[in-house]
Chain A
Amino acid sequence: MGLAELRRDRRAAIAATLAIGIVLAVAPFVIGATAGSTWLRIVDFALLYIMLALGLNIVVGFAGLLDMGYIAFYGVGAYLYALLASPQFGLHWPLWAILPAGAALAGLFGVILGAPTLRLRGDYLAIVTLGFGEIIRIFLNNLNAPVNITNGPQGISGIDPIRIGGVSLAKPIEVLGFTLPSLHAYYYLFLALALAIVFVSIRLENSRIGRAWVAIREDEIAAKACGINTRNVKLLAFAMGATFGGVAGGLFAGFQAFVSPESFSLMESVMVLCMVVLGGMGNIPGVILGGVLLTLLPELFRHGAGPVQQALFGKVVLDPEALRMLLFGLALIAVMLYRPAGLWPSTRRRRELRGNSA
Chain B
Amino acid sequence: MSAGEVAVARGELLLAAKAVSKHFGGVKALREVSLGIRAGEIYGLIGPNGAGKTTFFNVLTGLYTPSGGEIVFAGRKLVASAPHKAAERGIARTFQNIRLFANMTAAENVMVGRHVRTRAGVLGAVLRDRRTRAEEAAIRRRAEELLHYVGIADRADDLARKLSYGDQRRLEIARALATDPQLLALDEPAAGMNGTETAGLRALVEGIRADGITVLLIEHDVKLVMGLCDRVAVLDYGVLICEDVPAVVQHDPRVIEAYLGGGVA
Contact = CB atoms under 8 A, between A and B. Distances in A.
Interface of A: 199-200, 203-204, 206-212, 214-215, 218-219, 221-230, 236, 240, 348-354, 356-357
6 contacts: A218-B101, A221-B63, A226-B112, A227-B116, A349-B105, A351-B107
Contacts of B105: 348-351
7 residue pairs, one from A and one from B, having the closest CB atoms? A227-B116, A227-B87, A207-B125, A218-B101, A224-B83, A222-B99, A215-B112
Interface stretch (B8-16, B17-25, B138-146): B138-146
Interface string B134-156: 01100111011001000000001
B104 A240 contact: no
Nearest to B143: A353
A227 B112 CA distance: 9
Interface stretch (B66-74, B88-96, B195-203, B243-251): B88-96
Contacts of B55: none
A222 B100 contact: yes
> Most chain-B CB neighbours within 10 Å: which of A208, A219, A356, A357?
A208
How big is chain B's contact interface, by range? 35 or more
Contacts of A224: 62-63, 83-84, 87
B159 interface: yes
Contacts of B175: 226
B49 interface: no
B207 interface: no
A110 B150 CA distance: 41
A203 B126 contact: yes
B128 interface: yes
A211 B125 contact: no
Contacts of A223: 101, 112
Nearest to A212: B115
> Most chain-A CB neighbours within 10 Å: which of B88, B101, B179?
B101
Given A215-B101, A215-B104, A227-B84, A222 B95 contact: yes
A214 B144 contact: no
Given A208-B139, A218-B101, A227 B157 contact: no
Given A227-B179, A230-B84, A353-B140, 15 more contacts: A200-B126, A207-B124, A208-B118, A208-B139, A212-B115, A214-B108, A215-B112, A221-B83, A222-B100, A223-B101, A227-B84, A228-B115, A236-B122, A348-B159, A354-B157
> Most chain-B CB neighbours within 10 Å: which of A203, A226, A351?
A226
B102 interface: yes
Contact of B140 (A222, A350, A357): A357
Interface of A is mostly: helix
Contacts of B40: none
Contacts of B140: 353, 356-357
B120 interface: yes
B82 to A, nearest CB: 9
A226 B115 contact: yes
> Most chain-A CB neighbours within 10 Å: which of B62, B108, B115, B157?
B115
Contacts of B113: 226-227
Given A208-B125, A357-B144, A222 B101 contact: yes
A55 B35 CA distance: 49
Interface in B51-73: 61-63
Nearest to B112: A215
B99 to A, nearest CB: 4
Contacts of B235: none
A208 B115 contact: yes
Contacts of A209: 120-122, 125
A30 B192 CA distance: 63
Contacts of A356: 140
A351 B143 CA distance: 12
A328 to B, nearest CB: 30
A218 B118 CA distance: 21
Contacts of A240: 122
Nearest to B156: A353
Nearest to A231: B84
A229 B112 contact: no
Contacts of A352: 157
Given A200-B126, A212-B115, A357-B144, A226 B179 contact: yes
